Amino acid sequence: MGKNGKVEEDWESDLSPERFKVLRMRCTERPFSGKLLYNDEKGVYICAGCGAVLFRSESKYDSGSGWPSFMAPASEEAIIEREERSHGMTRTEIVCGKCGGHLGHVFDDGPAPTGQRYCVNSLSLEFQKIE
């Protein structure tokens, strides 16, 4: 039994196949394919798995990477970082602090003042506009 009392089969039936692959199987969407990549409306980015608020539009910037990029999470608890060793690299995976869904990775080549680049799959996110 996972967080939120959900087993992986529940996630598979609740999410679209594309979102399931990213959020639960930790796949990466193709760069420049995400719907939210160039979204610059004012609002919040929530977890496509559980609805938790993950990022705010004020922190979004264009990193040129092909994935939505943020310089900071919405709150300290929003995101959990995990060391990941795969493909011969050590990277820092980021997951939703509430449901554990895979979001992407964080790198230390972001802009000032944080210097952080939260590189996130658009499929892991939903956008809620704030008027």
Instruction: Tell the smallest beta-carbon distance from residue 3 to Fe ion (Å).
Output: 8
Q: Is 119 a catalytic residue?
A: yes
DSSP H helical segments within the chain, as ranges?
8-14, 17-23
Rounded CA-CA distance 76/104 in Å is: 16
In the complex, the residues that contact Fe ion under the rule CB under 5 A are: 47, 49-50, 52, 96, 98-99, 101
Instruction: Tell the smallest beta-carbon distance from residue 29 to Fe ion (Å).
Output: 17
Is the CB of 85 or the CB of 100 nearer to Fe ion? 100
Is the CB of 49 or the CB of 89 nearer to Fe ion? 49
> What Rg do the C-alpha atoms of the chain give, in angstroms?
14
Amino acid at residue number 67: W
